Amino acid sequence: QSVLTQPPSVSGAPGQRVTISCTGSSSNIGAGYNVHWYQQLPGTAPKLLIYGNSNRPSGVPDRFSGSKSGTSASLAITGLQAEDEADYYCQSYDSSLSGSVVFGGGTKLTVL
């Protein structure tokens, strides 16, 4: 059971917009900790996609955006492309666990 809750799967057609939610609690996201998002393509290591709630590392297309409100965060992907098909994970920190790192269970994005 993951500390952060994500939907197991989402899907969308090429060109569409999809969102992936990440729900936490008052001891992690709601406590003001940063939320980060990772993309894991099949057979590869995760890649940092969004850091600090809404910032994109260099090289990440602006089709990817992140937001945070209260105890939840969201990842939005616009102009969906076939190469976006991957697993997506949210990550934060938790004060009830001595500042430990916590992850969501991951969301499988399928591009129809």
Partner 1 sequence: QVQLVQSGAEVKKPGASVKVSCKASGYTFTGYFIHWLRQAPGQGLEWMGWINPISGVTNYAQKFQGWVTMTTDTSISTAYMELRRLRSADTALYYCARERYLNGMDVWGPGATVTVSS
| Positions that interact with partner 1 (CB under 8 A) | 2, 33-34, 36, 38, 40, 45-48, 50-52, 57, 87, 89, 91, 93, 97-106
Min dist CB 105 to partner 1, Å, is 5
Q: What is the DSSP string of 19-66?
A: EEEEE--TTTGGGT---EEEEE-TTS--EEEEBTTTBPPTT--TTEEE
Nearer to partner 1, 24 or 104 (CB): 104
> Hunting for tokens 């894991």 — which residue is that?
40
Residue placing its CB nearer to partner 1 in the complex, 12 or 51: 51
